[in-house]
Chain A
Amino acid sequence: MQIYLPIADLPLNVFLLFGMGLAVGFISGMFGIGGGFLMTPLLIFIGVPPAVSVASVASHIAASSFSGAIAYWRKRALDVALALMLLGGGILGTAAGVWLFTKLRALGQLDLVIGLSYVTLLSAVGGLMIYEGAGAILRARRGLPPVLRRPGSHVWFHGLPLKMRFKRSKIYVSAIPVWTIGFLIGFIGAIMGIGGGFLLVPMLIYLLRVPTVTVIGTSMVLTLVTMASATVMHAATNQQVDAVLAFILMVGGVIGAQFGARTGQKMRSERLRLLLGVLVLAVGLRFAYALVIEPDNLYSIRLVESGL
């Protein structure tokens, strides 16, 4: 059944979109991430203009992270103070990202920047995850105890001023790196149409030493607010949010996430990390491939907006 998407200006199959929502939702529930890094490229692949994909996926991620955040809130596995501090930086970052997005779209280099960001970010993060996950699995095979804390407990930014205590996470860190991380995630998220959960979770664990109990719930709150505000900002500045598209994806996404979460709970965490690493790296390599091989058609057409 085809449905005409009013902003993307093309008809697509409802069941295909719903199925994509389900599949990405399943993965996102399984790994505790938003899944934007999968959904945005998939939408571009089936013909949705990149700008519409990025802007519409933001609201899809907002929906799935809200349902996730509620679940973690019920389990009290959520650090509100830390989330609020991250958010301060996150909203600034999102605004900066939406601004740059608009500029790049006018310059005609948006696709290239999206492509390059995906390649570098996903390949690097995917590679690290595989390395780390494989290491953990090998250690477990040899019967060694898992490494809980990394050696070298003090990094330079732990000495920065404006220290704050986050009770639920039991950490005492400067507000500066917290805001910086929030800003980076918001910025990257707005440009790439990703929630940044797969970046934020490792950053919180390895840089801020946030315990695993609160990390996913806290990350979901940040994702929720940055993506909800990205939706509003993209709608107000670029007018590229397709509510019909977003709604179909959302419904599929929140249902898929429930089943994904159940599957994820049955798997061992290092195996999950390895699997996620492989997935992230694969998407990154797919983008690298698209940039390097010669395109079928060297020419492309874009409508020039009357407003610009």
Chain B
Amino acid sequence: MTRRAAALALAAIGWLGASFGAGEARAEKMVVSLSNHRVAINSNFSGEDLVLFGAIEPSGRGEQLHGKYDVVVTATGPRETYRTRRKARVLGIWVNVDSREFAQVPSYLAVLANRPFVEIANAETLRRLRIGLDNFLLTQRIGPDLADTVRDDPFRVAFVTLENSYGLYRESPEGVTFLTPAVFRAAVALPSQVPVGTYSVDVKLFADGQMVAQTTTSLEVIKAGFEQYIADAARDHGLLYGLATALLALLTGWIASVVFRRD
């Protein structure tokens, strides 16, 4: 209740400010649209580049756009739990000795902006709004607790670096381009091994180092057709699936022995 009241009050102040033309009115809104809300993984899937278009508009009549905006797009994939292991030399061979669990972290994370984050807002704001891979909340299970560690924690660094090398975690200060001062596009690249599930795309609008508007859209990555069928069968009917695969093997072997029979 109080939050809504506060929002109403803010809106009223904004409206008053705008109507009296008193100083800086912050009343922008964004309209965003994804090129595709449903990414289907089929047998020739090798990644897909999604495009997000956005337009900045004044939220009410008679208001003016500020002129210079910054946009940060954060796309997150379905949450998963990962275990990161560290190897060390034990008796001359390399063995996994230590591990840390990253609980319910995004399986895909892309942070895109139109210029380096540090130029968009100050460090404190970036941290508060969790902008960039360094500031994103990556909870680790440490004993019974769930907490994010400092950003230079070796496990955190290794996790982000590895995910980055798979193309699943990325950060780009050139990922957003302004087509006109009020229209922008962002390229969200989904790599070939992209996890299936629901993705959310969060778009934040900045002006003068402050966030002035925020909007969220979502998309779905699904396995389609035959791939879907196989994956479902393997998960839901493991035994039958195994029997079918074994039968397929026997059939292949038998056909080969018939085709290549020489006597």
Contacts and interface: CB of A to CB of B under 8 A. Distances in A.
Given A66-B250, A67-B257, A258-B256, A59 B245 contact: yes
B12 to A, nearest CB: 47
Nearest to B241: A235
Contacts of B241: 235, 241, 243
A236 B238 contact: yes
29 contacts: A1-B44, A4-B41, A6-B226, A6-B230, A11-B46, A59-B245, A63-B253, A65-B253, A66-B257, A67-B254, A71-B257, A108-B83, A111-B96, A231-B245, A232-B245, A235-B239, A236-B238, A241-B241, A241-B245, A243-B248, A250-B252, A254-B253, A292-B94, A299-B86, A299-B87, A300-B85, A301-B163, A302-B83, A304-B81
B42 A4 contact: yes
A155 interface: no
Nearest to B42: A4
Interface string A231-242: 111111101010
B193 to A, nearest CB: 5
B242 A232 contact: yes
Nearest to A235: B242
A228 B248 contact: no
A234 B241 CA distance: 10
Contacts of A68: 253
A101 to B, nearest CB: 14
Contacts of B83: 108, 301-304
A26 B192 CA distance: 32
A7 B249 contact: no
Nearest to B44: A2
A257 B246 CA distance: 19
Contacts of A160: none
Contacts of A59: 245-246, 248-249
Interface of A: 1-4, 6-7, 9-11, 59-60, 62-71, 74, 108-109, 111-112, 116, 227-229, 231-237, 239, 241, 243-244, 246-247, 250-251, 254-255, 257-258, 291-295, 297-304, 306
From A231, A247, A257, residue with most partner B Cβ within 10 Å: A231
A292 B89 CA distance: 8
A228 B234 contact: no
B158 interface: yes
Contacts of B87: 295, 298-300
A296 to B, nearest CB: 10
Contacts of B92: 292
Q: Which 6 A-B pairs have the closest CB atoms?
A: A235-B242, A66-B253, A254-B256, A299-B158, A232-B242, A67-B253
A2 B46 contact: yes
Given A59-B248, A301-B163, A112 B82 contact: no
Contact of A298 (B43, B86, B249, B255): B86
From A116, A237, A298, A302, residue with most partner B Cβ within 10 Å: A298
A15 to B, nearest CB: 14
Given A11-B192, A295-B87, A243 B155 contact: no
A269 to B, nearest CB: 21
Given A108-B99, A247-B252, A304-B101, A10 B243 contact: no
A247 B248 contact: yes
B88 interface: yes
Nearest to A254: B256
B242 A233 contact: yes
A26 to B, nearest CB: 13
Contacts of B192: 2, 4, 10-11
A4 B45 contact: yes
A228 B223 CA distance: 28
A6 B223 contact: yes
